[in-house]
Homo-oligomer: A and B are copies of this chain.
Amino acid sequence: VATGGKRPKLSDVARAAGVSAAAVSYALSGEPGVGPDVRARILTIAKELGYQPSRMARGLRTGRSRTIGLLLADITNPFYTDMAVGAVEAAEAAGYEVVVSHVGLGPERLTAAALTHIGGLTDGLLLTSLRSDDEAVVEELRQAGIPLIQLYRRVAGAPIDWVGIDDEQGGYDIAAHVLSTGRTKVAILGGLAGYSASAARVTGFRQALATSGLHAINEPDVHGGIDMDVASARAMDLLLAYPDVEAVLCGGDLIALSVLVACQQLGRSVPGDVAITGFNGELFATIGPMRISTVSVPRQLIGAVGVQLLLRRVDGDDSPPVDQTLPYLLRPGDTS
């Protein structure tokens, strides 16, 4: 009941059309080798029969799946799924399909997921979930001979194309923006040090502070977790430990939101008493009653450019790895 009839195959179409299998193949792929009238008839019959070529057979024969994989640590995180949207659009334009895998945290799962893609499922991989110390994973995938691109996060020194933004400069810019309002008691609440982008942002914050002859009042404990509960605790601890803090530079919008909530709970006015900045430009940072000042990362563009780089590699380009740095947007909101 549930399933229709058997799936028709190419030879069924050939028989129905009274031509050879080769003719059908040529007709469907738009190759020469079959007359326009015959081609039209074949196409009609194929549609009538509901013929759908087997990707397995085609892939086995051609060695290409015309599919690229996108590996996400957390498919629930819009920061990365925005990249997926850009990737899907760019891939579609090139006749490729994007399949997304939710791999969860941890290098083992990353490797496992990647290996199933490597089994020919996919012609190349977009990697997003890299930690700075994931060299081993990346090296293993490289050995497997599948083209790889790093999206945003990266492994230090890995000889693999990368596309992202200049987080350090972004951090510098938004810190300079806050300092320009005359605040001097500034704290930093960065993400985990193990991620390349988190580290770079904090470096940028520090450089801007140093330029004004300052340093963060909560050094050196500026790195930490970004999950909502952890971030909330860090925010509250900070405000309690440094009652006179005038500005908090955050490594991400979620941390900034935590600080905002904590300020409201403690009765500190924002941005009157405390200025707060985020990073990423996430949706939730802009939809609340108070828009968070942030650095907006061009996530869809990163995905799209990643696909372009990847398809170049899939087509056999083996020139040296490139770094593609994209522009970001400094977006002042209501919190600074």
Which residues of A line the B interface, CB within 8 A?
1-7, 50, 52-60, 65, 67, 75-76, 78, 81-82, 84-85, 88, 97-102, 104, 113, 115-116, 118-121, 142-147, 159, 228, 257, 260-261, 264-265, 283-284, 287-289, 313, 317-318, 320-321
Complex Cα spacing A146 to B261, Å = 48
Query: Judging by beta carbons under 8 Å apart, are B318 and A56 in contact?
Result: no
Given contact pairs A2-B318, A99-B100, A144-B4, A76 touches B81 in the complex (Cβ within 8 A): yes
Complex contacts, A55 vs chain B, CB 8 Å: 56, 116, 119-121
Query: Judging by beta carbons under 8 Å apart, are A60 and B52 in contact?
Result: no
Closest to A287 in B: B228
Q: Which of A88, A113, A264 has the largest number of chain B CB atoms within 10 A?
A: A88
Complex contacts, A76 vs chain B, CB 8 Å: 78, 81-82, 84-85
Complex Cα spacing A329 to B121, Å = 39
CB distance from A322 to the nearest CB of B (A): 11
Closest to A57 in B: B60
Given contact pairs A102-B98, A144-B7, A118 touches B52 in the complex (Cβ within 8 A): yes
**Which 9 A-B residue pairings sit nearest by Cβ, starting from the closest?**
A99-B99, A4-B145, A55-B119, A56-B59, A100-B100, A56-B60, A2-B318, A3-B145, A56-B120
CB distance from A122 to the nearest CB of B (A): 9
Task: Find A289's partner among B82, B113, B145, B264 (CB 8 Å cutoff).
Answer: B264
Query: Judging by beta carbons under 8 Å apart, are A261 and B289 in contact?
Result: yes
CB distance from A126 to the nearest CB of B (A): 13
CB distance from A208 to the nearest CB of B (A): 28
Complex Cα spacing A103 to B63, Å = 26
- Knowing that A55-B56, A75-B84, A98-B101 touch, tell me 4 more A-B residue pairs with CB under 8 angstroms: A56-B56, A75-B75, A97-B116, A264-B289
Query: Judging by beta carbons under 8 Å apart, are B65 and A56 in contact?
Result: yes
CB distance from A125 to the nearest CB of B (A): 12
Query: Judging by beta carbons under 8 Å apart, are B59 and A142 in contact?
Result: no
Complex Cα spacing A261 to B52, Å = 50
Complex contacts, A119 vs chain B, CB 8 Å: 52-56, 58
Closest to A60 in B: B56
Query: Judging by beta carbons under 8 Å apart, are B101 and A3 in contact?
Result: no
